[in-house]
């Protein structure tokens, strides 16, 4: 469908200089770099963005009514975050910078586009057939360091003053923001120090070190890492760059929205993973400016619903972090105050997904799309596979953002195993059979007739309540689907109820 052209001239003489860190630092650290020819003319402009937007009358159906955020209280979701009560830190509620605007996103798009990948937007026949929607995948994992974080990192680094660039930057990150800063810091000649939780994936830690960043491991989560980072940035005179809440980071993330609308101007909804909320803030800001009728739907882990809780409270609030979560990149205890202020009125719906649903999503992506995502990157697909997208999107064009593909290989193996189990394709059970010749053979014959495959088998004779002539057999069996699993269960039940006494009973803790 043809779209009209939306042009936005961007004034270089924008609001005052701002720092690239979230607590006390010099304003001159982030001066905009202005060409000499522009300095004498405060009205100088950069070339306009041309984003294709569908004409309203060309829509085949009337615009959708705004979907309510089910986790939010409508009366409190409009409330502004309170002013800071203490000197701000990377995790406080206070607003320390002017909020980013669409002009900032436009400027970021021109600033970074030669240094990042304009990633593919691919139609997925597999997920379209499964969901009843037209599903498009925005492949941000194809960035050089494997995630969308490069956009904000490069934008923030380029916005630094020459003096700040020479001194270097610091950040706290679970991995992807650290990787992005390390990569672009190396390209731009800017020293980078990152603090990563001790639970961060090994592959991300190793890659950061390979890229020349100084890596410090501290704490069990991103909050503890950020608190530690706050203790040394002032001493070492570094510029702190928050990975999800600084305006330049949010603006960089918003360029994803511009690219989606350029390639698919008629998109009806965009599904965005939510952690600290920088990505959904930037995308919602861009999308609602260019295509207000397009829905923006956030997806966050059920174990860390920081955005949902912020919507309920009307301001960022701290949630209790789980010890571990598969979506470690989204495990942020408190959304950024700037990101929340931008996104709270622009997000149409929020969805939470479980660990099991994320595991199945990673499995589906490997099998159906032949690609690998980390837990955070698979969050949108998890919502789709679990049937949690709004029913009103059936038959509509939906873009799901695959935001990151950095996952340790051993973890991937465990996740696939978990996904198979959650998908009823890996079944564990125990059965007591006769320990005489042919007892176990009878059980194996039942499994063979059903067409299942034995993955693992062990015997238990010593710790058994039954007689000395019986044995407990513990098995892990592969099945193809839930119906296949049920057929296996029925076959074993029939054998128990028969007069042959080949199988005496199911064992305790049977998982079939």
pTM above 0.85, yes or no: no
Please report, for the domain that includes residue 484, its CATH number: 3.30.70.260
Is a pLDDT exceeding 70 seen at residue 478? yes
pLDDT confidence bin for 182, thresholds 50/70/90: very high
pLDDT confidence bin for 136, thresholds 50/70/90: very high
Q: How is residue 24 written in tokens?
A: 């006390």
Cα 501 to Cα 119, 407, 439, distances in angstroms: 61, 48, 9
Most confident of 57-71, 131-145, 229-243, 490-504: 131-145
Lowest mean pLDDT among 61-75, 103-117, 308-322: 61-75
What is the structure's pLDDT at 231?
86
| 225 domain-assigned | no
Mean of pLDDT over the chain: 83
Q: Which of 394, 417, 440 is where one domain is finished?
A: 417
What is the structure's pLDDT at 502?
54
35 or 471, which is more confident: 471
> Residue 369 and residue 20: Cα distance in Å, rounded?
38
Average pLDDT on 85-96 reads 49
- Asked whether the beta carbons of 274 and 299 are under 8 A apart, the reply is yes
Residues 386 and 447 in one domain: no
Q: How is residue 231 written in tokens?
A: 């203790």
Q: Which of 369, 386, 417 is where one domain is finished?
A: 417
- Asked whether the beta carbons of 191 and 168 are under 8 A apart, the reply is yes
Sign of the alpha-carbon dihedral angle for 48, 338, 348, 125: positive
Residues 406 and 431 in one domain: no
DSSP 275: S
Lowest mean pLDDT among 9-18, 190-199, 242-251, 498-507: 9-18
Contacting residues for 161 by C-beta, under 8 A, at least 6 apart: 28, 29, 30, 31
Residues 83 and 103 in one domain: yes
Residues 386 and 347 in one domain: yes
Residues 290 and 413 in one domain: yes
Lowest mean pLDDT among 69-78, 218-227, 257-266: 69-78
What is the structure's pLDDT at 80?
39
Is a pLDDT exceeding 90 seen at residue 120? yes
| 58 domain-assigned | no
- Asked whether the beta carbons of 140 and 119 are under 8 A apart, the reply is yes
**Most distant CA atoms of the chain, gap in Å:** 97
Is a pLDDT exceeding 70 seen at residue 23? no
| 183 domain-assigned | no
Residues 442 and 412 in one domain: no
| 437 domain-assigned | yes
Q: Which of 385, 417, 449 is where one domain is finished?
A: 417
Q: Which helix (H) or strand (E) holds 202?
A: helix 202-210
DSSP 140: G
Average pLDDT on 263-285 reads 98
Residues 407 and 452 in one domain: no
pLDDT confidence bin for 503, thresholds 50/70/90: low
225 or 91, which is more confident: 225
Residues 408 and 450 in one domain: no
Q: Which helix (H) or strand (E) holds 490?
A: helix 482-497
| 479 domain-assigned | yes
177 or 463, which is more confident: 177
What is the structure's pLDDT at 89?
39
Q: How is residue 112 written in tokens?
A: 């970074």
Q: How is residue 377 written in tokens?
A: 């990157």
What is the structure's pLDDT at 199?
82
Helix, strand, or coil here: 476?
Answer: strand
Whole-number percent of the chain with pLDDT over 90: 62
Could you tell me the residue range of the domain that residue 266 belongs to? 4-53+69-152+245-417
Average pLDDT on 70-91 reads 38
Is a pLDDT exceeding 90 seen at residue 125? yes
Lowest mean pLDDT among 84-88, 235-239, 329-333: 84-88
pLDDT confidence bin for 486, thresholds 50/70/90: very high
Average pLDDT on 285-304 reads 98
| 179 domain-assigned | no
Is a pLDDT exceeding 90 seen at residue 213? yes
Most confident of 15-24, 47-56, 190-199, 257-266: 257-266
At 245-261, the pLDDT tens digits run 999 999 999 999 999 99
Q: What percentage of the chain's residues is helix, strand, coil (to nearest 5)?
A: 40, 20, 45
- Asked whether the beta carbons of 148 and 379 are under 8 A apart, the reply is no
Residues 258 and 294 in one domain: yes
Place of tokens 């973890």: 411
What is the structure's pLDDT at 364?
97
What is the structure's pLDDT at 468?
83
Q: What DSSP line would sit under 320-371, residue for residue?
A: PPPS--S-GGG--SS--HHHHHHHTTT--EEEEE-HHHHHHHHHHIIIII--
Lowest mean pLDDT among 4-8, 120-124, 240-244: 4-8
Tally the domains of the chain: 2
Residues 118 and 261 in one domain: yes
Helix, strand, or coil here: 453?
Answer: strand
- The residue among 13, 338, 26 whose CA lies nearest residue 160 is 26
Point out which residues pair with 192 in neighbouring strands: 169
| 15 domain-assigned | yes
Cα 65 to Cα 61, 168, 235, distances in angstroms: 12, 47, 52
Residues 34 and 123 in one domain: yes
| 212 domain-assigned | no
Please report, for the domain that includes residue 390, its CATH number: 3.40.50.1100
Cα 368 to Cα 10, 269, 328, 451, distances in angstroms: 42, 22, 23, 23
What is the structure's pLDDT at 274?
98
- The residue among 323, 222, 263 whose CA lies nearest residue 3 is 263
Residues 36 and 98 in one domain: yes
């Amino acid at each position: 469908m043809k779209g009209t052209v939306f042009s936005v001239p961007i004034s270089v003489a924008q609001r005052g200089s701002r720092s690239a860190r979230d607590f006390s630092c010099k304003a001159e650290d982030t001066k905009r770099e202005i060409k000499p020819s522009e300095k004498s003319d405060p009205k100088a402009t950069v070339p306009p963005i041309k984003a294709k937007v569908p004409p309203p009358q060309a829509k085949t159906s009337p615009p959708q009514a705004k979907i309510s955020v089910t986790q939010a209280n409508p009366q409190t979701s409009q409330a502004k975050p309170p002013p800071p009560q203490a000197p701000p830190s990377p995790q406080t509620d206070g607003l320390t910078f002017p909020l980013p605007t669409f002009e900032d996103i436009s400027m970021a798009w021109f600033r970074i586009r030669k240094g990042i990948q304009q990633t593919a937007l691919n139609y997925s026949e597999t997920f379209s057939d499964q969901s009843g929607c037209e599903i498009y995948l925005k492949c941000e994992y194809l960035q050089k360091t494997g995630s969308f974080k490069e956009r904000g990192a490069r934008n923030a680094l380029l916005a630094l003053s020459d003096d700040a660039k020479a001194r270097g930057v610091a950040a706290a990150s679970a991995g992807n923001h650290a990787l992005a800063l390390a990569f672009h810091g190396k390209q731009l000649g800017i020293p980078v120090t990152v603090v990563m939780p001790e639970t961060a994936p090994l592959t991300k830690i190793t890659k950061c070190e390979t890229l020349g960043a100084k890596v410090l491991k501290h704490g069990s989560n991103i909050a503890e890492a950020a608190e530690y980072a706050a203790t040394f940035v002032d001493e070492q005179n570094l510029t702190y760059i928050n990975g999800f809440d600084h305006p330049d980071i949010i603006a960089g993330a918003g360029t994803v929205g511009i690219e989606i609308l350029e390639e698919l101007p008629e998109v009806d909804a965009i599904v965005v993973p939510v952690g600290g909320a920088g990505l959904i803030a930037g995308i919602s800001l861009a999308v609602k400016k260019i295509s207000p009728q397009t829905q923006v739907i956030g997806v966050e882990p059920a174990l860390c619903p920081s955005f949902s809780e912020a919507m309920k409270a009307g301001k960022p609030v701290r949630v209790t972090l789980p010890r571990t979560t598969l979506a470690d990149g989204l495990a942020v205890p408190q959304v950024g105050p700037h990101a929340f202020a931008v996104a709270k009125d622009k997000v149409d719906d929020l969805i939470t997904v479980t660990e099991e649903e994320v595991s199945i999503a990673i499995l589906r992506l490997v099998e159906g799309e032949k690609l690998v995502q980390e837990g955070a990157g698979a969050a949108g697909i998890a919502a789709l596979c679990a049937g949690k997208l709004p029913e009103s999107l059936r038959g509509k064009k939906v873009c799901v953002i695959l935001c990151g593909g950095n996952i340790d290989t051993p973890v991937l193996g465990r996740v696939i195993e978990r996904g198979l189990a959650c998908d009823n394709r890996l079944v564990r059970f125990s059965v007591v059979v006769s320990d005489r010749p042919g007892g176990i053979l009878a059980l194996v014959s039942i499994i063979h007739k059903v067409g299942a495959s034995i993955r693992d088998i062990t015997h238990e004779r010593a710790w058994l309540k039954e007689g000395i002539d019986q044995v407990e057999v513990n098995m892990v069996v592969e099945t193809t689907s839930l119906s296949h699993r049920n057929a296996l269960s029925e076959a074993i039940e029939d054998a128990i109820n028969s007069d042959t006494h080949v199988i005496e009973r199911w064992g305790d803790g049977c998982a079939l």
